[in-house]
Structure 1
Amino acid sequence: MDIDLRDFERVAIPLDGRRAAAVAIVVSGADPAIWLTRRASGMRAHPGQFALPGGRLDAGEDAVAAALRELAEELGVTASRDECVGLLDDYPTRSGYVITPVVVRLGGTPRLRPNPAEVAHVDVIPVRDLAVEPRFLTIPESDRPVIQLPLVGHLVHAPTAAVLYQFREAALYGRTTRVAHLEQPVFAWR
């Protein structure tokens, strides 16, 4: 499966007082798989939640540089800008960030060295397993649908679920599906 999203026509969202962040959707191996982390319980923000390697942009960084830096910091994997195969739509979070998803394609399967201060667990998920049907819920706190993806025996919530849903739509089906309107569960608003 060849995953190249360089021609994906992404939607950028203005920061409007929010902070810029980036996540890495890393696709590795001959049978392509992605890496989904579980945040360490000692993390100040969103402990125990499913996440993609990522974080806020440092001064002078663009989204690609930040995603690659965070990938190295969180999982001990070094990748180059040449291995970036596309950017997906920005996703605005309730916690004050605009996340830019950076898709990285690695030819082999590097050894993961998770940083225990940031990562409690890493799931390796075959890309084909993203073909699950998402769940869309309504909540009294918002008129926007909350997305959940059933993966690895759990429900993954937005923002990670929204980003992975858009990746799935583009990579598996060649569809342009927008996700910025998808809501996060109330516990993620904190």
Structure 2
Amino acid sequence: MMRPFDDATRRNIAAACAAFTRLPEDEAPAALKRAAVVIALTAASERDDTAFLLTLRASHLRAHRGQWALPGGRCDAGETPVQAALRELDEELGLRLTGAEVLGTLDDYPTRSGYLITPVVVWAADSAAIKPNPDEVASVHRIALATVERADAFDFVAIPESTRRVIRFHHQSSLIHAPTAALIYQFREVLAGRHTRVTELEQPVFAWK
């Protein structure tokens, strides 16, 4: 479905996020380290459509090098997930937003590597300001919302190492896995008015460390 990047789309997405009820935070293991990622909504480059920003992590990073990811990272001491998300968006892509651009938050996702990730949805109108930080980001891509709303955008596969299904997002010739795929999938479901939970969707074994 075409979603023009305009005030009406912003209001509709904000309303969908407001209608979404997050899982209680006390259901997550207390030992997990807090982190946040950003689902940053902006204009698609090739047409007047709404897209979100996806990055390819730099190849020299110590962790998860060369992988697809939403902008984000670990929360600093005393920082809320929203504050961390906005800081990381600035550090990685040069986008300086305020709380006024935050449309909502989705469920926290616990990772196998010991993090509890909060997805923060923001409206990033000034896409011309995007300047990827080469220390962290190899490239940044605009993924039209219509892309993730396709019936074949995601699949779920079984693995022998877990009773949980691994979620995969098909992007061009790449397979993007959880946590990124799970968070994008839940956002897709929120847009459709469905309160689909994703905490039980599995990561591939290579991402467990």
**Structure 2 length normalisation: TM-score?**
0.87
Matched residue type, 1:183? E
Give the aligned partner of residue 87 of structure 2.
69
- Are the equivalent residues in 1 in contact too, given 2:28–2:110 (CA < 8 A)? no
Runs of at least 5 residues in structure 1 that lack an aligned partner in the other structure: none
Instruction: Give, as a single letter, the amino acid of the residue that structure 1 aligns with 2:160.
Output: P
1:151 aligns with 2:151: no
Partner residue, 2:181: 161
Q: Would you tell me which structure has more helix in proportion to its own residues?
A: 2
Farther-moved stretch of structure 1 (100-109 vs 53-62): 100-109
Deviation at 1:111, TM superposition (A): 2.5
Q: Tell me if 1:109 matches 2:121.
A: no
CA contact (8 A) 1:21 1:57 kept: yes
1:17 aligned onto 2:31: yes
Per the alignment, in what secondary structure is the counterpart of residue 19 of structure 2? coil
State the match for 2:6 in structure 1: none
RMSD: 1.2
Separation in structure 2 between the aligned mates of residue 117 and residue 178 of structure 1, nearest angstrom: 34
Letter in 2 for 1:161: A
Opposite residue 119 of structure 1, the aligned amino acid is V
- Cα deviations across residues 114-168 of structure 1 (Å, max 9, x unaligned)? 1111111111111111113311111111000000010133111000000000001
Kindly tell me the number of residue pairs found equivalent between the two proteins.
189
2:203 to 177, 184, 187: 184
Q: Deviations over 1:94-123 (max 9, x none)?
A: 000000000001234233111111111111
Contact 1:18 1:98 (8 Å CA) reproduced: yes
Aligned mates of 2:184, 2:128 — CA distance in 1: 21
Deviates more, 1:146-155 or 1:18-27: 146-155
Matched, 1:175 2:175: no
Measure, in 1, the Cα distance between the counterparts of 2:102 and 2:19.
12
Contact 1:38 1:119 in 2 (8 A): yes
**Which of 1 and 2 has greater Rg?**
2
What's the TM-score once normalised by structure 1's chain length? 0.95
